[in-house]
Every structure is written in C-alpha cells, then in structure tokens.
Structure 1
Amino acid sequence: MSILKIAVQKSGRLSEKSLQLLADCGIKISNGERRLKAVSPNFPIEVLFLRDDDIPQYVEEGVADAGMLGENEVWEKDKNVTVIKKLGFASCRLSLAVPKDANYAGPQYFSGKKVATSYPVILQKFFDQNNLDTAIETISGSVEIAPAIGLADGIFDIVSTGSTLQINGLKEVEVVTKSEAVLISNPNLSAEKQQILDKLLFRIQSVKNAAENKYILLNAPDKAIPEIIKILPGMKSPTVLPLAEAGWSSIHSVIREDAFWDIIDQLKALGAEGILVTNVEKMIL
C-alpha cells in the first residue's frame, strides 16, 4: 500500500498549526519523542519533520511527496514544486525596513545602499522590478541588528506585528509581498499517491469551509421568512421548521463568519429573536 510522505516544519508555530490541521482532518500523528518522522495509524501518510527551508528541495527530489510550509520559502528556494493549496494560517508579510529616523520617500531610497536579508532571491526580484542598484547582504538568523552594527542600511525580513522592528529601532517602509502557509507537492506523483493527496485535500477543504462559516439558528415570524431567506441563503436554502406557537418558525442556516455582523441588524429588524450562532466542525459542499 502506498504512503504519502508529507514534510512539515520540525518546530515553531507553523509546525504546530500544520499538525493541528492534520488533527482537524481526523489524522492522528504522534511526535512526542521528537522523532524525525511519524506514521499515521489511521491515514496512509508519513510525516517528516524538517527545516522549513529544506522542504522545497526534499519535495522536488521526491524524498517527500508533499510539504506544508510558508510560501515565502517556496519563492526563495525556487524549486520545481507545485503549490496546490493555500492553508489560511501563518500569514505574514515580507517587508523592507530602515532606521526609524531615516527620511524615506520611496523605493529609490535603496539605490546605492545595502540591505541585509535571509531572502536574497525574493528581494533581488523586487530591486530588479524597480530598476534599483542595491547591494544585498545575505545573512541568516536575526537580521534586525544589521543597521545598528553598520552592516547594512536597511533590512528585508518577515514581519508579523512589527514589534521586533520597533525594539531594534526600525520602521517598516515597503511591503514587498505577503505570504501564508501552503501545501506543495512533487509534480510527478504516482497515481496511488495522487489519490491519497486528493483525499487529504478533500479533508483540508472541509475543515477550511467549516472555519470560514457559522451555523445560525433563529426564531422569526412567518411573515418575515421570505425576506430572511434572501439574506440567509445557506448552502442551498435554509431549513424552516414551525414552532409550537402559531405564526412563528425556527430558521436554520449557514453563513460566512465575516458576513454575520453585517446582517445581524437586518435580521433583528425583520423580527428575528433567539439568535444562536455556533461553530461548524466539518463542512462538505
């Protein structure tokens, strides 16, 4: 029986989120002893725990069939892999930053200067697109200290909240690109492994659908049902059940979480009462 080998980051928040996603998909993985690989007892996959910047190469070479990692590492390593799914977590931006007292007026600021980064490939593309003659100092580890020690005039790095930049006396001036966790695969999977990957993708999509939607229940006067249905279409149409009190019904539907607060006032204006909103564990369309 074929087993799909999937690489995830061996530690850190992205690793935790990746393993949580597999758990939400009903896939059991145990790595309690910090092993470098673990086989699921209830789904045909083997998880390899690797450095995130090594994952594209391992997937390209077929050591791993698929991988979960930040899309920024996919761009930086530029390997022959296929991005097949954005996973919706580990969102960040890759930005240029300069000393907070610098007089920054646009990308031309970097012309003739030096920028320190761990992502020289992504950064060079940005400088090329803007016709900037800028030197890139490639370093690993914490790049925020580079301007303070005179190694560079600015930095290019991952930014989440910006607090690390502030602590080091820097300010974010250009968002070059945005990144999030993605699922990649080797473009030449066997038919058996592709079938396993498709099953995994189905489960991931069901989990993502559930995370993006809420189940809503409410009571409303029967005369308001046509208008309520217009704003609560559900997956196909809402479920409407009569209540014991004549002239009233219970309406059950599914709505996108980001739309709920925009329509709650409309529902109340139409006479809706007893509105309950709950999480959806899985959602299969």
Structure 2
Amino acid sequence: MNTLKIAVQKSGRLSEKSLQLLEECGIKISNGERKLKAVAQNFPIEILFLRDDDIPQYVEQGVADIGVLGENEVWEKDKQVNIIEQLGFAGCRMSLAIPKDEIYTDLNYFQGKRIATSYPKILNNFFAKNNISVLIEEISGSVEIATSIGLADAVFDIVSTGSTLLMNGLKEVETVTKSEAVLISNKNLSQENQVILDKLLFRIKAVREGKRNKYILLNAPNSAIDEICSVLPGMKSPTILPLVEKDWSSLHSVIQEDDYWQIIEQLKNLGAEGILIIPIEKMIR
C-alpha cells in the first residue's frame, strides 16, 4: 500500500501545530521518542521531522511528497513546489525595523542602508520592486542584535508580537509581507499519492471550516422568525423546532466566528433569548 510522506518542522511551535492538525484530522501518530520519522496508525501517511528551511528542497526532490512550513520559507528557498493549502496558523509578518531613536519617514530612508536578514531573497525582491538600492547582510540567526553590534543600520525579520524588537532597541517601521503555515507538494505526485493527499485535504478543510464557524441555538417568538432567519442564513437555512411554550420556537444555525458578536446584538434586538454558541469540531459543506 502506498504511503504519503509529509515533512514537518522537527521542533518548535510550527511542529506542534502541524501535529495537532493531523490529530484533529483523526490521524493517530506515535512519536514519543521524537524520532526523525513516524508512521500513522490509521492513515497511509509517514511523517518526516526536518529543519523547516530544508523542507522545500526535500519536497522538490521527492524525498517528501508534501510538507508543512511557513510561506516565508517557501518564498525564500524558491524551489519548484506547489502551495496547495493555507493552513490558518503560525501567522506572522515580515517587517523592517530600525533603531528606536531614528526618525523614519518612508521607504527612501533605506536608500544605501545596510540591512541584516535571514531572508535576503524576499528582501532583495521587495526593494528591487521599489527601486531602492540597499546592502544586504545575510545572517542565519539573532538578526535583532545586528544594529547594536554595528553590523547593519536596520533589520528585516519575522515579527509576531514585536517584543523581541523592543527588547533590542528597535522599532518596526514597514511590513513587507505576511506569512502563515502552508501545505506544499511535489509537482509530480503519483496518482496513488494524489488520492491520499485528496483525502487528507478533505479532512483538513473540514477541520478548518469547523474552526471558522460556530453552531448557534436560540429561542424566539414565532412573530420574529422571518426577521431572525434573514440574519441567520446558516449553511442553507436555519432549522426551526417548535417549543412547548405556545408561539415560540428554537432556531439552530451556523455563523462565522468573526461575525457572531455583531449578529448576537441583532438577534437580541429582535427578541431572541437563551442564545447558545457552541464550537464545531468539523464541518463539511
């Protein structure tokens, strides 16, 4: 039987999130000793634990069929792979930062400046598009200390909260791009492995849809049902069940997580009571 090989980061937050996603997809993995590879117990998939910046190369070469990593690594390595799904976690921005006492006006500030980064290709492409000439100092780690030791005038790095920049006397001045975890694949998957990948993608999308939506239950007077239904379209339309109390019904529907606070205010104004919001584990449209 064919096995789909998936490369994930061997340690760190992205690794944990990747394994959590597989678990939420119902895939059982045993890797208690943190070996370099593990085989799923109930799905034809083998997990390879690798450095994230090596994953694009391994997927391009077919050592791994698919991989989970940040978009930033895909862009920087520029390998011949397909980005097949954005996964919605490990979000960050890639930003330019300068010493906090410097006065910043616009991108022209960087003309002729030295900038330290672990992502020279992304940075070079950005400044080339903006017709600004810079000197790029490529370093593999601890980018944020480059200005304090005199290596560079500015830095370009991944930013999540910005606290690391502040601790090193820097301020964020320009967001170049945003990145999140993605699923990439080899461009020449076998037909058998494509079938396995399609099954995995089906599960991933069901998990992601569940996280983006909430199940809502409420009680309302029958006289308000039409107006409430216009606010709660649901997947097709709300489910309406009569209550024991005369002229009242219970409505069940699905709403997007980003919208439910605004929708709840409308529902209350229309007379809805006993509103319950319940997480959805998986959702298949």
Do both proteins adopt the same fold according to a TM-score greater than 0.5, normalized to the shorter chain? yes
SS at match of 1:85: strand
Q: Which residue number corresponds to residue 93 of structure 2?
A: 93
Q: Which residue number corresponds to residue 157 of structure 1?
A: 157
Matched, 1:52 2:52: yes
Structure 1 residues 241-252: aligned runs within 5 Å = 241-252=241-252
Q: Which amino acid aligns with 1:14?
A: L
TM-score (norm 1): 0.99
RMSD: 0.6
Q: Which residue number corresponds to residue 145 of structure 1?
A: 145
Q: Which residue number corresponds to residue 254 of structure 2?
A: 254
Matched, 1:200 2:200: yes
How far did 1:50 drift?
0.3
Matched, 1:187 2:187: yes
Give structure 1 stretches of 5+ with no counterpart. Answer: none
SS at match of 1:245: coil
Give structure 2 stretches of 5+ with no counterpart. Answer: none
Deviations 1:224-260, CA, capped at 9 Å, x for gaps: 1111111101111111000011100010111101111
Q: Which amino acid aligns with 1:161?
A: T
How far did 1:186 drift?
0.4
Q: Which residue number corresponds to residue 233 of structure 2?
A: 233
Q: Which amino acid aligns with 1:8?
A: V
After TM superposition, what 4+ stretches of structure 1 lie above 2 angstroms from structure 2? none
Task: Please give the alpha-carbon distance, in whole angstroms, between the structure 2 residues aligned to 1:95 and 1:74.
Answer: 17
Q: Which amino acid aligns with 1:97?
A: A
Q: Which residue number corresponds to residue 34 of structure 1?
A: 34
TM-score (norm 2): 0.99
Q: Which amino acid aligns with 1:282?
A: K
Task: Please give the alpha-carbon distance, in whole angstroms, between the structure 2 residues aligned to 1:235 and 1:113.
Answer: 53
SS at match of 2:143: coil
Q: Which residue number corresponds to residue 78 of structure 1?
A: 78
Task: Please give the alpha-carbon distance, in whole angstroms, between the structure 1 residues aligned to 2:115 and 2:30.
Answer: 41
Q: Which amino acid aligns with 2:173?
A: V
SS at match of 1:93: strand
Task: Please give the alpha-carbon distance, in whole angstroms, between the structure 1 residues aligned to 2:266 and 2:120.
Answer: 51
Q: Which amino acid aligns with 1:85?
A: E
Q: Which amino acid aligns with 1:196?
A: I
Structure 1 residues 120-131: aligned runs within 5 Å = 120-131=120-131
Task: Please give the alpha-carbon distance, in whole angstroms, between the structure 1 residues aligned to 2:106 and 2:270.
Answer: 51
Task: Please give the alpha-carbon distance, in whole angstroms, between the structure 1 residues aligned to 2:196 and 2:50.
Answer: 21
Task: Please give the alpha-carbon distance, in whole angstroms, between the structure 2 residues aligned to 1:77 and 1:234.
Answer: 42
Q: Which amino acid aligns with 2:153?
A: D
Q: Which residue number corresponds to residue 7 of structure 1?
A: 7
Task: Please give the alpha-carbon distance, in whole angstroms, between the structure 2 residues aligned to 1:251 and 1:126.
Answer: 51
Task: Please give the alpha-carbon distance, in whole angstroms, between the structure 2 residues aligned to 1:99 and 1:233.
Answer: 51
Task: Please give the alpha-carbon distance, in whole angstroms, between the structure 1 residues aligned to 2:251 and 2:168.
Answer: 54
SS at match of 2:124: helix
How far did 1:139 drift?
0.4
How far did 1:13 drift?
0.4
Query: How many equivalent residue pairs?
Result: 285
SS at match of 2:58: helix
Task: Please give the alpha-carbon distance, in whole angstroms, between the structure 2 residues aligned to 1:41 and 1:264.
Answer: 42
Deviations 1:33-85, CA, capped at 9 Å, x for gaps: 01000000100000000000000000000000000000000000000000000
Q: Which residue number corresponds to residue 272 of structure 2?
A: 272
Structure 1 residues 57-68: aligned runs within 5 Å = 57-68=57-68
